Amino acid sequence: MFETLDSLVNTQPLRSNARTGLGRALSAVAEWTPRPNEQLLGGYERIYFHHIRKTAGTSLVFAFFGLSGLDPHKIERRLFWCAFTRAGGVRLVEGNPTLIHEGRYLFATSHFPGYVAQPPTEGTFQFTVLRDPVKRVVSLYRYLRSAESDNGFVFKAPDEERKWASGTFHQFLDRLPREDLLRQLYMFSPVGDVSETVDELGKLQLVMRTDAIADGVDALTEQTGLRLSVGHQRSTVVSEELTESELDHARVVLESEYEMLEQLPD
């Protein structure tokens, strides 16, 4: 429906405002209802996840959605139309800086940089997941090349992004905007600065690694008291092999992310 309308006029701003307004109204109403399942350890009132694409983040997000007792895909559909939902006593927010900043939720997440989303500092357990830079970008390339990668999900990659991956991996690296190529830096620094990113990551309560996700989930449970059942979501089916030349190209353009990872504590 919206595809047809958008061919005539851009409805995105109207839909975004409506999503925010409805979400604010529902979250305000929810403040008057009990919070039976929103009990966190450590004096925390809420959890915010800085979601960097292709770091196994969707699997974690769906694990939090599952705390509601509903199918996580149902929660995702609700959040697509309204940035806030409440189910099973759990309050959830997806991809809306206004509601994230207001803080009336148990769990919220977005792909927005932290300096845009700005979750409340007081009472918020903040975490992220980092991945080997080349593995992350290769995964992004394969994801965007796969026509089936978004099947079953309502939040989908835009057609413009899929065009980035329409050619070779060399072409993809050249086409990918710097903010997406070095997303693990730009998520925490508006200029992609290594030192600033390291400083901002040091302010988070937990920095997980994709290649040790089980250990990260254990640490998350220990610090918050929430027990999550983490599966595998949005797995990419395209698995074409890349040449050593293509991987070398990626290592060069991602050098600053490797520098950042080397500066982080073990």
Q: What length is written for the chain?
A: 266
For residues 231 and 219, give the distance between their C-alpha atoms in angstroms, rounded to a whole number. 17
Range of 177's domain? 2-263
Q: Are 108 and 100 in contact (CB under 8 A)?
A: yes
pLDDT at 51 exceeding the cut of 70: yes
The domain total for the chain is 1
- Highest mean predicted confidence (pLDDT) among 11-20, 152-161, 184-193: 184-193
pLDDT at 24 exceeding the cut of 80: no
> Residue 5: what pLDDT?
42
Taking the complete model, does pTM exceed 0.95, yes or no? no
Looking up residue 202, the CATH number of its domain turns out to be 3.40.50
Query: In Å, what is the CA distance from 207 to each residue of 14, 73, 173, 188?
Result: 36, 26, 26, 13
Of residues 109 and 239, more confidently modeled = 109
Is beta strand 84-87 parallel, antiparallel or unpaired with respect to 46-50? unpaired
What mean pLDDT is predicted for residues 163-183? 96
Q: Which residues pair with 35 in a beta bridge?
A: none
Instruction: State the pLDDT confidence band at 266, using cuts at 50, 70 and 90.
Output: confident
> Residue 198: what pLDDT?
98
Q: 147: buried, middle or exposed (CB in 10 Å: 19+, 13-18, 0-12)?
A: exposed
Hey, how many other C-beta atoms are within 10 angstroms of the C-beta on 195? 11
> Residue 2: what pLDDT?
43
Residue pLDDT, tens place only, 187-216: 999 999 999 999 999 999 999 999 999 999
Q: Which residues pair with 46 in a beta bridge?
A: 124
> Residue 86: what pLDDT?
92
Q: Please, where are the H alpha helices in the chain?
A: 2-6, 12-30, 57-65, 72-81, 97-102, 114-117, 133-145, 159-164, 169-175, 178-181, 183-186, 194-201, 213-224, 244-253, 255-263
For residues 83 and 23, give the distance between their C-alpha atoms in angstroms, rounded to a whole number. 5
